[in-house]
Structure 1
Amino acid sequence: MSLWVNPKQFRLWQRLTLSARLMLLSGLVLTMLGATYFTLVIQSEIKFHSSDLQDRLNYEIKFMTPALAEPAVVGDYSLIQQMLDVRVRQPHIVRINWVDNRGNRIESAEDDVRLKAPPWFQSWLNLPPVEQSEDIVVGGQTYGRVELRLTAVPAINNVWASLQDKLEVLLLCIGMLFAITLATVGNALRPLYALGAAARRFGQGDHSVRMTPSGPPEMIACVQAFNSMAENIETLLRSVSETDARNKMLALIVEQSSVAIITTDRHGMITSWNAAATELYRWTAEEAIGRSTDMLMPPGTGGSLVSDDANQSRSIEVRHRAKDGGVLDIFANTSPLYDGHGVHMGEIIVIRDITRQKQAEEALFKETERAQVTLASIADAVITTDTKGNVEFLNPVAEKLLGWSSRQAHGKLLGTVFRPVIEATGEPIENSIDKLVRDPSSDGVREDAVLVSSAGGQIPIQLTGASISDRNNQVIGAVLVFRDVSTSHSMARQLTWQATHDALTSLVNRREFARILDAMVDSAEQEGREHALLYMDLDQFKIVNDTCGHLAGDELLRQLSALLNNRVRTSDTLARLGGDEFGVLLKDCKVKQAMDLAEILRATVSEFRFAWQDKLFTVGVSIGVVAIKGDGNNPADILALADAACYQAKDNGRNRVEAAPHDKEMAHRRSEMLWVSKLTNALEQDRLVLYCQDIAPIKGGRRHCEVLLRMLDDDDNLVLPMAFIPAAERYNMMHAIDRKVIAMVFDALERRPEQHARDNPITVSINLSGISLSDENLLAFLRQQFARRKVRPRDICFEVTETAAIANLTHAVALMKELKAMGCSFSLDDFGSGLSSFAYLKNLPVDYLKIDGSFVRDMADDPIDAAMVQAISDIGHVMGIKTIAEWVENDTTLGMLKKIGVDYAQGYLISRPRPIEDVLWANRVETMIANADGTS
Structure 2
Amino acid sequence: MPDPIVVLDRNNIIVSCNDLFRHLYEVLPEQDIAGQALEKLIQSLWQRHPEEGGGEHYEKAIRPILQDDKRFAGVAYEVPLPKNRWVRIVEQRSREGLRTCVHFDITRYNRERQALELAESQARAQEARFRAVIERSPVGMSIASDDGTILEANEAYGRFLGYAPRELIGKKLWDFMEPEEWNSARAVMAELVTGKILSLERETRFLHQDGTLRWALQSAVHFTDGGSNGEVISQLQDLTARKHAESERDTLLSDLAYRAAHDGLTGLPNRTAFEDALNSAMKAAQASNRPHALCYLDLDGFKGVNDAAGHVAGDQVLRMVAATLKQHIRPMDFLARLGGDEFGLILYEADLDSGISCVSALIKAVSTTNFVWNDRNFVLGLSVGITKVTSQDLSIDRLLRRADEACYRAKRAGRNLAVVA
Scaled by the length of structure 2, what TM-score is found? 0.47
- Greater RCO, 1 or 2 (C-alpha within 8 Å, sep 6+): 2
Larger Rg: 1
